[in-house]
């Protein structure tokens, strides 16, 4: 598991196994596998034998045109709120509690009136910043934007992309999302 040291991870990424490590800071264990709860960097505490994930040092600044990663906090009638976590390319974290708003008209290239089919609480989203003041506004129009990690409504495990839907092999269940073409292909890079 040494190869994961200092790796940048998404929520739900594997950071170790129970045979080698105990779940430490910002992690949880499920069926012997230790996963990250947050966006951050993997660190191992050799003394306590713990696998930990350390959050990025936050910066508060987000600029128009930035590509950000965040997790879906809430869906309302016509908007999705997203907890902002990271600016792509810079490894700049975003201050805790900073949220962005995605309006239903900015979800996809096609007209949609069904937010429920596009995003689910906890999904990891890649989005572009279109406004920063007075509030952060986002868009996921474009094939590379949208959900990059989706978690099963039933069991919360990570889902695989199969064509235009996401599939949970544990539940044999399919779900729809506004899926990014980069789904499952993004590795966060260390500087
Ligand atoms: Zn499932």
Task: Show me where the domains of the chain are located.
Answer: 2-54, 59-148
pLDDT over 90 percentage in the chain: 66
**pLDDT of 50:** 96
Buried b (16+ CB within 10 A) or exposed e, 77-86: eebbbbbbbb
User: Residue 32 pLDDT > 70, yes or no?
Assistant: yes
Q: What pLDDT is attached to residue 48?
A: 94
Can you name the CATH fold of 59-148? OB fold (Dihydrolipoamide Acetyltransferase, E2P) (2.40.50)
Quote the mean pLDDT of the chain.
90
Mean per-residue pLDDT for 97-126?
90
**Which tokens in the block code for residue 100?**
């962005």
Q: Is the pLDDT of residue 191 over 50?
A: no
Confidence check: pLDDT of 51 > 80: yes
Tell me the CA–centroid distance for residue 140 and ligand 1, in Å: 25
Gap from CA of 10 to ligand 1 centroid (Å): 19
Q: Is it true that 2-54 and 59-148 share their CATH fold? A: yes
Q: What is the pTM of this model?
A: 0.85
Residue 152 phi, psi (nearest 5): -55, 135
| Lowest pLDDT segment from 25-34, 63-72, 103-112, 138-147 | 103-112
Residue 11 scores a pLDDT above 60: yes
Q: Residues within 5 Å of ion ligand 1 by Cβ?
A: 152, 154-155, 168, 170-171
pLDDT category of residue 3 using cuts at 50, 70 and 90 = confident
Query: Do the beta carbons of residue 28 and residue 12 sit within 8 Å?
Result: no
CA distances (Å), origin 105, targets 92, 101, 189:
28, 11, 31
Ligand 1 geometric centre to CA of 92 (Å): 32
Please give the distance, rounded to the nearest whole angstrom, from the Cα atom of residue 141 to the centre of ligand 1: 27
Quick: pLDDT tens for 159-179. 999 988 999 999 999 999 999
Q: Residue 63 C-alpha to ligand 1 middle, in angstroms?
A: 36
Per-residue confidence (pLDDT) for residue 159, from 0 to 100: 94
Lookup: tokens for 64: 């128009």
CATH code of the domain made up of 2-54: 2.40.50.100
């Amino acid at each position: 598991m040494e190869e994961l040291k200092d790796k940048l991870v998404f929520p739900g990424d594997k950071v170790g196994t129970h045979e080698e490590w105990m779940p430490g800071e910002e992690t949880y264990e499920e069926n012997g596998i230790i996963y990250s709860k947050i966006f951050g960097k993997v660190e191992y505490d050799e003394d306590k034998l713990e696998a930990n994930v350390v959050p990025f040092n936050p910066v508060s600044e987000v600029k128009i045109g930035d590509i950000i990663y965040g997790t879906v906090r809430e869906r309302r009638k016509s908007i999705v709120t997203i907890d902002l976590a990271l600016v792509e390319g810079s490894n700049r974290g975003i201050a805790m509690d900073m949220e962005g708003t995605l309006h239903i008209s900015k979800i996809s290239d096609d007209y949609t009136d069904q937010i429920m089919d596009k995003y689910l609480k906890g999904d990891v989203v890649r989005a572009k910043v279109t406004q920063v003041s007075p509030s952060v506004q986002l868009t996921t129009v474009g094939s590379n934007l949208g959900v990059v990690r989706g978690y099963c409504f039933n069991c919360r495990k990570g889902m695989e992309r199969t064509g235009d839907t996401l599939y949970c092999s544990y539940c044999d269940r399919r779900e729809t999302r506004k899926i990014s073409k980069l789904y499952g292909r993004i590795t966060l890079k260390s500087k």
